Amino acid sequence: MKNYMALKKIFLVGIVLVGLCLSAKAQTELSSIFMGSQMVQSANYNPAEMNQYKLNVHVIPSINAGYYNRGFKASSFLRQEGTIFRLNLEELIATVKDKGIDIQAGGRIETLGVGLTIDKWSVRLQHAINSYNSVHIPDSSLDFLLSGNGNYIGQTANIGVQVNSLTYSELGVQVAHDLNEQLNIGIGIKYLSGIAAVQTVRSELDVYTNPEYYQLEFTADYLLNTAGVSGEQSSSGGLGSILFGPNKGWSFDFGATYQVDESLKIGASFMNIGSISWQEDVRSYKSYGDYSFDGIDVGPLLENDKIDFEANLDSLEASFEVEEYSARFRTATPQHINLYGTYQLENGFQLGLLYRLQGQFSNNLHAFAINVKKDLGNIFSIGTQYAYLAPGSHNIGLNAMLTLKPVQLFFMTDNIAGVFDVLGSRQANFRVGVNLVFGGSI
């Protein structure tokens, strides 16, 4: 049963990650970059953004999390009745027909950070835990697995699920320099320690139902790499194994801002360029070739109400070969490009525009945002924005920051409706945290 159990692991990982994606809240948070020098987290999107306070510290974790799907709202097939959620399979299949399910979800916990700004230089040290998850399920896969092969007699169904996940620790330093009154440049370098990964390299898995004998004929070219998910990795190192584990990598940030005049500032950045090499607790699952399965003999069920499922699983295992082996592999870190500008209006208002291209597991996400922010002195800032995530998610967001030195509180979301109605939204995210700021504005 080894091959069957290996195949079972693949689908169990997929189910777990689908559940994670549906219950998480998106890492494509667009509001922070418009805070500029007022909030140190702006440097997460451009290392050239210099904080206006001489010293800033966060010892209480800052959390950024969210999800995004390209094709549906969960409320169209999922109903909440008290504490119970009911799934309508027919509506689910109809909702994702011709589109399938394509979900991205993730989160970031910034555990500790300190930044220092002196004269024309700014240095920031930070640790964070990042998690990125992506699941793609073809529409025919759901129809076939949930409704059976009755709709595919004499046809081929693609049931190749793509599952990708990446969780790692990040320990980094960013340096920004004010070259002159107009131009700032910044660079960041991060040491990465991998915690867990799932990587779908190839996902061809086609099933043809023979119209004469109803035999299932499989054509497979499937390769799945995993690391840190079997539970066999060493745990004796404690915190040290998380910060400096055997699965290592590096990533880099580059950015610049340019003050065109007193009102207009433009910026550009290329973030998180890097990769992780996975060497410990690695497992790969590969299936390649053509297989057939004659199906389940229901004769015993008609005669004595019993079916030998163990024998049928043995038959399926003999028909469908999955090779399990250990091999090192490498995963790229999700990268993003930011192009943006802010314009200072009268009475403390600021208008901001942003375009972001985010690459994650060979998928590209295009995002656009228009932000309006109002500063009420140096104590309180509040803003709203319109955001568009291609190919069709339109959202209204909210961002707020309260600074009562040395405490700075902030909350941001790109979709305020999604915070209160996750099932009715295609995208939802938030960022919340506490900074300690010291010294006057630079």
- Tens digits of residue pLDDT in 127-172: 999 999 988 888 787 777 766 777 778 888 888 888 999 999 999 9
pTM of the model: 0.82
Query: What are the structure tokens assigned to 309, written together?
Result: 């499922």
Q: CATH: 3.40.920.10, 3.30.1950.10, 2.40.160.40, 1.20.1250.20. Which one for 2-441?
A: 2.40.160.40
pLDDT value, residue 151: 77
Query: What are the structure tokens assigned to 244, written together?
Result: 């400096």
Closest by CA position to 164, among listed 142, 211, 132: 132
Q: Give the whole-angstrom CA distance, residue 62 versus residue 410.
A: 9
pLDDT value, residue 245: 83
pLDDT value, residue 231: 64
The better pLDDT of the pair 97, 203 is held by 203
Strand partners, 103: 69, 135
pLDDT value, residue 48: 97
Across the range 212-227, mean pLDDT stands at: 86
Across the range 183-201, mean pLDDT stands at: 96
What single-letter amino acid sits at 293? F
How is residue 333 annotated by DSSP?
P
Closest by CA position to 369, among listed 32, 27, 20: 32
pLDDT value, residue 2: 47
pLDDT tens-digit series, residues 88-135: 777 777 777 767 787 888 899 999 999 999 989 999 999 999 999 988
Residue 3 above 70 pLDDT?
Answer: no
In this structure, how many other beta carbons lie within 10 angstroms of the beta carbon of residue 415?
A: 27
pLDDT band at 316 (very low <50, low <70, confident <90, very high): low
Three-state DSSP at 243 gives: helix
Q: What are phi and psi of 393, to 5 degrees?
A: -100, 115
Is residue 321 within 8 A of residue 3, CB to CB? The reply is yes
The better pLDDT of the pair 17, 349 is held by 349
Across the range 327-345, mean pLDDT stands at: 95
pLDDT value, residue 294: 64
Q: Give the whole-angstrom CA distance, residue 400 versus residue 403.
A: 10
How is residue 153 annotated by DSSP?
B
pLDDT value, residue 309: 46
Whole-number Cα distances in Å, 128 to 169, 247, 313: 6, 16, 44
Residue 176 above 60 pLDDT?
Answer: yes
Across the range 298-305, mean pLDDT stands at: 45
Torsion of CA 271, 408, 394, 102, to 10 degrees: 50
Q: What is the mean pLDDT of the chain?
A: 83
- Three-state helix/strand/coil letters over 116-148: EEECCEEEEEEEEEEEEEEEEECHHHHHHHHHC
Residue 63 above 80 pLDDT?
Answer: yes
pLDDT band at 319 (very low <50, low <70, confident <90, very high): low
Is residue 397 within 8 A of residue 66, CB to CB? The reply is no
Q: Give the whole-angstrom CA distance, residue 220 versus residue 204.
A: 6
HSE at residue 88, side-chain half, CA atoms within 13 A, is 13
Is residue 367 within 8 A of residue 355, CB to CB? The reply is yes
CA 386 to chain centroid, in Å, comes to: 21
Helix (H) or strand (E) holding 331: strand 329-332
pLDDT tens-digit series, residues 366-397: 999 999 999 998 899 999 999 998 877 788 99
Q: What is the Cα gyration radius of the chain? A: 25
Percent of the chain with pLDDT over 90: 49
Residue 256 above 90 pLDDT?
Answer: yes
The better pLDDT of the pair 428, 357 is held by 357
Helix (H) or strand (E) holding 363: strand 363-376
What single-letter amino acid sits at 245? G
Across the range 317-342, mean pLDDT stands at: 88
The better pLDDT of the pair 4, 218 is held by 218
How is residue 306 annotated by DSSP?
-
Q: Give the whole-angstrom CA distance, residue 352 versus residue 35.
A: 10
What single-letter amino acid sits at 14? G
Residue 308 above 80 pLDDT?
Answer: no
Torsion of CA 269, 244, 431, 184, to 10 degrees: -30
pLDDT value, residue 299: 43
Percent of the chain with pLDDT over 70: 83
Closest by CA position to 283, among listed 4, 37, 10: 10
Q: Give the whole-angstrom CA distance, residue 391 versus residue 299.
A: 50
pLDDT tens-digit series, residues 43-60: 999 999 999 999 999 888
How is residue 279 annotated by DSSP?
-
In this structure, how many other beta carbons lie within 10 angstroms of the beta carbon of residue 180?
A: 8
Q: CB burial class (10 A; 0-12, 13-18, 19+) of residue 268?
A: middle
Three-state DSSP at 416 gives: helix
End-to-end CA distance of the chain: 67
Three-state DSSP at 59 gives: coil
pLDDT tens-digit series, residues 261-292: 999 999 999 999 999 999 999 999 998 888 77
pLDDT tens-digit series, residues 393-426: 788 999 999 999 999 999 999 988 877 777 777 7
